Every structure is written in C-alpha cells, then in structure tokens.
Chains A and B, each alone.
Chain A
Amino acid sequence: FRQADTMKSLRLLLAALAVVTAVLADHHAHDDVDKLVEGINRITYQIFEFEHKLDARLDPARIRRAGSLEARVEALEEPSCAEHQHQCGGDDPQCISSLFVCDGRVDCRNGEDEKHCSLPTNPGDTFVGDVVFDHCTKRRPQHITLQVESVSTAKFFPAFPKVHVHLEISSDNDFEHAEASLPGDGYYSFADDELVIYPPEEDGLAFHGDFDGHNFDRFVGDIIHTASDEACARFIFHRK
C-alpha cells in the first residue's frame, strides 16, 4: 500500500533528523542549524500535505453526498424489507421492526439501528419549502415555512419523539393577501427519517417530511390526504 510506504519513509526521515539534532547539539554550528530547520520545515510540509490528502478522502460532506446518491438509488430499487421494517444495511443486510430503531437497545447485528439517533428537527429550527406541485391546499401558497417549536422525547420510548411545529403560510391573490400560522403536532420517526404532522386543520390534510437519511438540511414535504394516503402537494424544504 503506497500510503503506508510514505508513512514509513516519513518516519525514517524523522528519526534521521532527530539523530542529526543530537549530533548538531555538540557542534553548535549555526549554518547546520539553518539547514536542519529547513529540513524540518520541508518534512512538516510533506506531512501536512499528506494529511490534507487523507482529509479530502474522509471529507464528511463528500461522504454525505455519496450517501444521498445511494439513497436515491435505493428508492428506485425494490424495497429490501417489508413494510414497517427497517433495513440495517451494510454488507450483511438485516430487517428489523421500525419500532426498534433508536429505542435504546441494539437490535441490528451491526448495531446500525442505534447509531443515527440525533434529531434533525430541533426546537428553533426553521425550514422553508418551495412548491413543486399543489392541487389540494386551501391557500395554494408558493412557500411554506415550518418552524419547530418544541420536541418531547418519552424516556421509556425514545424512538418516536413528539414534535410541535408551526406551519406559516402566506398567500397572495387578486383579492387579498392572507397569512396563516397553523400549529401542528406530530412525531419524528428515526426508522423512516420522516417527520409526520397530523392535520392542523379540519380538511384531513397531513404533512409528511421525508429526509434522505444523509442530508439533514433538506427534505421533501408532501401534503397527504389522510383518508387515501395520497400525496396531493409537494414542497422541497431547506433548512434556514
């Protein structure tokens, strides 16, 4: 492995330099000290360059983007687990019940079900959604702002934190300019990376925010008829 070789040669060089330092200590020769300093600086540069290469490969943003791409391919493929089950993933796939994800006990053989349990929707977070299509909402807005007000997690069942949000909608037409701020309650599901808000009004329209599991600054928000489970409007949300 080439990088391992690089490491070894760098180490050798370093050891040699240490010896040189010791020898030079006896001579007090200033020219040699200058050379030594120069050598050390060169090695420092090489080491930092190498670290930079490693960091570029381990760049979390890049890994997140790769994960999002894989999630899109996964969405196209046949689901590998039954409904209401969660895929543990990795090189040895396993399906577990969605109820077991982030419940504080390891259920996957690879422990994946307890690894990604930080909530992406925290109190104070704001997401702004732009309309993709809409043929059911009352106001037909261009944008919806989702404001997370509070979150409560039951100690005995942390898998589904309760979320309280405000949906701020401003609409404009020829006759009036109207604004609404609808309070809504719902929950976040770690198993599906999904934020579900029960219908805030009497029209039976619920809200499903679908994160891709890697990029938590963006999600697809669908307005869903609770009776038919059909999405009749879609907004793409970005974290503000």
Chain B
Amino acid sequence: MWRLLILSALSGLILADQAGDFVGRVFGDVDPRLAANSLKIISLEKKLTSLKGKLHDAEKVDPDGFLNEIDARVSELEGTHCAKREFQCGGNEQECVSDILVCDGHNDCHNGHDEDSTVCSTAPVKAGNVFSGTSHWKDCLVRHDHVTRITITQSSRRKFYQARIWVRALVESDLTSHGKTTTSSFQAKGYYNFAHRRLVLVPLGDHDSHLSVVCNFDHGDSERASCHRVLEATLYPCADLFVTLSQHN
C-alpha cells in the first residue's frame, strides 16, 4: 500500500510542471527508486512530527491513574467497618489496626499492607511541594473565590516514631479587593497521617485569626487533595479548596 501511495505521490509531483523540475533538479538521473524513497523519508519525517503532538496528548490520558482514582473514590463511598482512628488493612482480609501503627516500620497487618510502599509514600509532603487551588468560602469569612497556595517548607520524621510526618508550611492567598491583588500569608505547622492520607496544618502563633487547613489525598495519587479551611477547635468547614501539585519547572 505504501508503495502505491508513494508512486501516486511521485506521479502527482511529476505531473505538476514546477514539481517535475524540482524532482529533476534534485535527483537528476538517479535511480527512480531512490527518488521515491527520498519522498518516503520526507513523509515519514512529517509523520514523526505529528506523532510528537499525539505523544503530548497521550501523556494526559492516564489509565492507571484513572483506575486508582475511581478505586479511591469507590472505597470512600463503601466505607470500612473500622473504627474512627483505625486503618483498614485491605485486600482479602478484613482487618483493622490502629492508625498509630501505620508506617511505623513494623508489620501490624497480617498481609503487611500497613507498611506497603504506596501507603507509606512520603511524596505528598515532600519539602518544596507547592499545592495550589481555588478557595471557595461558604462560611466564616466573606471572600470571593481566590487562589490559595500551600508550600511545604519543612518535613521531618522522628526515627523512634515514624507513623507521622511533622510538617511546616507556608499558606498564601491571593486576595483581590478594590482592583488590587494582595497576598495574605501565614506560617503553619502540622502533620501528615499515612493511614488516612491526611495533612493537617494549624497556623503558627495566634496573633492573626487564620483558619487551619485540612487536606485529604483522596484521589488515588500524591498530586491532588481535597482540602477544607476549618476552625481548629470544632473542625467546622468554612471553605472548600481543591489543590493540585504545581509542576516543577
């Protein structure tokens, strides 16, 4: 089929006067098969350029990531029979362990799921991560939708108690009022809990009435989290915030 295509392309070229000249000038009295193959190479090169575009599109389609997300969301809907501060071991065994034993370096589940590398991934709170998204306030403060950025500035894990990661972060909000954009920011400290994939950040020092941030990495990856701005004491949600990891450039 290819040969036919090339031949027809070639004859098309020769039929056109100018193109005929072109072929004559470039290939002279070269073997006509070579001339045909040069055209083939040119068309292959074009094909490669178009494939580059497709490759770019294909990167956005992530079947494994999609499955992980659906899995996480359905698991969330199903719930577990475990108590509030317990971790479900998963798999075929319906076993619950306390969440202070998850990722502490010792197998507590019979299937070892509590020390699984995906469960114990520290990627969500790697220092330097910048998560950003739009805050939508429902209560507590009168604010239009605005961008909020959470930058993980420090993370540390005690060697004698590995079930939590202690985190420091900078929380910034781009507020627009009277046509001017100002950035309001505060330092926060908190922790990341492996069992519930939850990051809790509480403002450092109480000189300013900033609200805490609670994020759940419940979309099956370490890049997206649904967060709330909450009152620290009651955990009453004042704002919804869905954040995505910003790409490092």
Contact = CB atoms under 8 A, between A and B. Distances in A.
Contacts of B136: 94-95
Contact of B41 (A17, A55, A109): A17
Contact of B61 (A10, A11, A33, A63): A63
A101 B139 CA distance: 26
A182 interface: no
Interface in B108-159: 133-134, 136, 145
Contact of A51 (B27, B54, B240): B54
Nearest to B223: A91
Contacts of A217: none
B40 A40 contact: yes
Interface string A91-125: 11111000000000000010000000000000000
Contacts of A93: 240, 242
Interface string A150-188: 000000000000000000000000000000000000000
Interface residues of B, number: 35
B51 A7 contact: yes
Given A37-B37, A66-B66, A58 B61 contact: yes
A64 to B, nearest CB: 12
B44 A69 contact: no
Q: Choose among A73, A92, A93 the residue with the greatest number of B CB atoms under 10 Å from its CB.
A: A92
B45 A14 contact: yes
Interface stretch (B69-77, B83-91, B160-168, B208-216): B69-77
B52 interface: yes
A44 B242 contact: no
A229 B44 CA distance: 60
Given A37-B33, A40-B40, A92 B242 contact: yes
A39 to B, nearest CB: 9
Contacts of A40: 37, 40-41, 44
Contacts of B41: 14, 17-18, 21, 40
Given A47-B47, A66-B66, A58 B57 contact: yes
Interface stretch (A22-30, A196-204, A206-214, A230-238): A22-30
A77 interface: yes
B179 interface: no
Contacts of A36: 34, 37
Contact of A21 (B37, B240, B244): B37
A73 B70 contact: yes
Given A47-B47, A57-B63, 14 more contacts: A10-B48, A33-B31, A36-B37, A37-B37, A40-B37, A41-B2, A44-B2, A54-B54, A57-B61, A77-B77, A93-B240, A94-B134, A95-B136, A109-B134
28 contacts: A3-B55, A3-B58, A4-B55, A14-B45, A17-B41, A18-B38, A18-B41, A21-B41, A24-B34, A25-B34, A30-B31, A33-B31, A40-B44, A44-B44, A47-B44, A47-B47, A50-B51, A51-B47, A54-B55, A58-B58, A70-B66, A73-B77, A91-B244, A92-B133, A92-B134, A92-B244, A94-B134, A94-B136
Interface of B: 2, 27, 30-31, 33-34, 37-38, 40-41, 44-45, 47-48, 51-52, 54-55, 57-58, 61, 63, 66, 70, 73-74, 77, 133-134, 136, 145, 224, 240, 242, 244
Interface of A: 3-4, 7, 10-11, 14, 17-18, 21, 24-25, 28, 30, 33, 36-37, 40-41, 43-44, 47, 50-51, 54-55, 57-58, 63, 66, 69-70, 73, 76-77, 91-95, 109
CB-based closest 5 A-B pairs: A91-B244, A54-B54, A57-B58, A25-B30, A54-B58
